[in-house]
Amino acid sequence: MQNKKNRRGFLRTGASAAGAGVLALSGCKSQREEKEVNINFNKTFRWKMTTTWPPNFPVVGEGCKMMAEWVKKMSGGRMEITVYGGGELIPALEGFDAVSNGAVEMNHGAAYYWAGKLPAAPFFTAVPFGMNAQQMGAWIISGGGAKLWEELYAPYDLLPIICGNTGSQMGGWFNKEINSIEDLKGLKMRIPGLGGKVLAKAGGTPMLVSGGEIYTNLERGVIDATEWIGPYHDYKMGFHQVAKYYYYPGWHEQGPVLELILNKPKFLALPEDLQEIVRTACLRLNRWMMAEFDAKNGEYLNKLVHEEKVPLKAYPKEVMIALKNYAKETIAELTETDAPSRKVYTAFKEFQSVINPWMEISEKAFFQDI
Ligand code: CA
């Protein structure tokens, strides 16, 4: 019914206004008048997208450039987005401020990079022993997560949109075997977000190292271990040349969500069709990225194990149990001290408690050995 009404509105106004190069889509008279001013086919919007990824970074950075192409094509050339790698226009982790103050219009990255400003932000990327990529997408898109995320960023004039996911990650690269939780003591490991806090509880030292520096830091012994993404990307990073053992599963990041943050006033001032084009491109990038990682991870796991002879190891059960307990403590401390974290995690946990029983008898049951 709504579609029919919109369609009629579109045709009626289109017929009267197309000659003037403006077009209304739907709505009451006052809204229509406003949109007639707003939707101008002759105006081209040139926006800047900064990213937290090194320039020309495979999959994630590459995906941002693809997204800019999609937006350009979908908008008939009315919206052109220039994508910048981290450090090309601003330092890699300054996107939050740059978009907030309007210096650039959009930034692609991950919410947990902003944990220093917003302790609740990591809940929108990854929670140790939390939800996987499929569940995170379900929570954010259809389970109320997006609304909480938008509320959290609103005081900064930012609008977050889900815009990518690496899928399941690996546990990480180590130069020694992890046979008990004691083996994590004193270990200097590159591991960001809440996962890093969990490692610290186990006596390890979480290190913040940007993607471009991990290889050399591992090689020189500045760090003893690192987590990154999964077989495909890790292979491209060459970690198998500087670390001995490859551990699974990625208990700290089962399916981290990537985000596009937009300067909210600028985004809302865009013609409505361009806003929808940007949102649509985000969803496409979100889906493409997961498909790309899932499709390539199996192939590259095979390369790592069979061609490069990397020993693949599972964390022992007792290590997983200890890490899970430390994760509970970490989250409890955060939610006790930070009200927004408490609010977001309550919703997260509630969603998880409903979706997990379904996953048990669907995904998990399907993959059980028979
Ligand atoms: Ca990671």
Residue type at 48 in one-letter notation: K
Q: Which of 43, 48, 45 is nearest to 82 (CA)?
A: 48
CA of 74 to the centre of ligand 1 (A): 32
Per-residue pLDDT, 280: 98
CA of 229 to the centre of ligand 1 (A): 5
CA of 73 to the centre of ligand 1 (A): 32
Mean pLDDT of the chain: 90
CA of 10 to the centre of ligand 1 (A): 46
Q: How far apart are CA 298 and CA 241, in angstroms?
A: 19
CA of 24 to the centre of ligand 1 (A): 45
CA of 162 to the centre of ligand 1 (A): 17
CA of 135 to the centre of ligand 1 (A): 17
Q: Which of 229, 204, 226, 198 is nearest to 128 (CA)?
A: 198
Per-residue pLDDT, 39: 61
Please compute Rg for the chain using Cα positions.
Answer: 23
Q: Which of 144, 112, 115 is nearest to 126 (CA)?
A: 112
Q: Which of 172, 169, 304 is nearest to 241 (CA)?
A: 304
Per-residue pLDDT, 209: 84
Per-residue pLDDT, 50: 98
**Confidence band, pLDDT 50/70/90 cuts, at residue 4:** very low
Per-residue pLDDT, 330: 97
CA of 190 to the centre of ligand 1 (A): 9
> Tokens 């330092």 sit at which residue?
91
Per-residue pLDDT, 40: 66
Average pLDDT over residues 157-168: 97
Least confident stretch, 27-41, 42-56, 127-141, 270-284 = 27-41
Q: How far apart are CA 108 and CA 260, in angstroms?
A: 5
Per-residue pLDDT, 5: 40
| pLDDT above 90: residue 145 | yes
Per-residue pLDDT, 211: 79
Per-residue pLDDT, 10: 35
CA of 101 to the centre of ligand 1 (A): 28
Average pLDDT over residues 202-231: 94
- Extended strands (E) in the chain: 45-51, 79-84, 106-109, 158-165, 172-174, 188-190, 205-207, 225-226, 245-248, 257-263, 312-314
| pLDDT above 80: residue 22 | no
CA of 105 to the centre of ligand 1 (A): 26
Q: How far apart are CA 230 and CA 177, in angstroms?
A: 19
Percent of residues, the chain, with pLDDT higher than 70: 89
Residue type at 183 in one-letter notation: D
> Tokens 């690269």 sit at which residue?
173
- Which two three-digit tokens encode residue 200? 């610290």
Per-residue pLDDT, 29: 45
| pLDDT above 70: residue 38 | no
Cβ(145)–Cβ(111) below 8 Å:
no
CA of 212 to the centre of ligand 1 (A): 14
CA of 20 to the centre of ligand 1 (A): 51
| pLDDT above 50: residue 182 | yes
Q: Is the CA virtual torsion 226, 137, 332, 357 positive or negative?
A: negative
Q: What's the pTM?
A: 0.87
Q: Which residue has the higher pLDDT, 192 or 286?
A: 286
**Confidence band, pLDDT 50/70/90 cuts, at residue 213:** confident
- CA angle at 248 for the pair 142 and 122, rounded to the nearest 5°: 40
Percent of residues, the chain, with pLDDT higher than 90: 83
CA of 65 to the centre of ligand 1 (A): 22
Strands 225-226 and 188-190: parallel
Average pLDDT over residues 37-50: 83
